[in-house]
């Protein structure tokens, strides 16, 4: 996935805040997958958590952040159409 403007920074800020709240995350890696319904204007209309990290705070924050992303609308036969994408998010907390 390409780097979405500002999204990587938002994730980094969130990850820093998580470590400050829960030092047990240091040295861990969290993987989250979210299914997003993208509208014709590139906004997120709905989301579904399809793979949890096992850390509820990380899951809910990742979903909130994913909803802020603006996508390029999907196209089918030249027409702009709604689409679904699966967004993987991975937090790595180095030791």
| Range 42-78 burial, b when 16+ CB lie within 10 A, else e | eebeebeeeeebebeebbebbbebbeebebebbeeee
Distance CA 84, CA 11 (A): 22
Q: What is the model's pLDDT at position 4?
A: 59
pLDDT of 8 higher than 90: no
Q: pLDDT for 31-78, tens place per residue? A: 999 999 999 999 999 899 999 999 888 888 888 888 888 888 899 999
Q: pLDDT for 15-40, tens place per residue? A: 666 655 666 777 778 899 999 999 99
Strand partners, 84: 37
Distance CA 76, CA 49 (A): 26
Global pTM exceeds 0.75: no
């Amino acid at each position: 996935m390409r780097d979405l403007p500002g999204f990587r920074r938002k994730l980094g800020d969130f990850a820093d805040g998580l470590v400050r709240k829960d030092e047990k995350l240091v040295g861990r890696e969290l993987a989250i997958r979210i299914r997003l319904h993208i509208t014709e204007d590139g906004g997120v209309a709905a989301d579904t958590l399809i793979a949890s990290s096992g850390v509820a705070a990380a899951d809910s924050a990742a979903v909130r952040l994913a909803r802020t992303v603006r996508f390029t609308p999907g196209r089918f036969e030249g027409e702009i159409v709604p689409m679904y994408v699966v967004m993987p998010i991975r937090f790595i907390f180095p030791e």
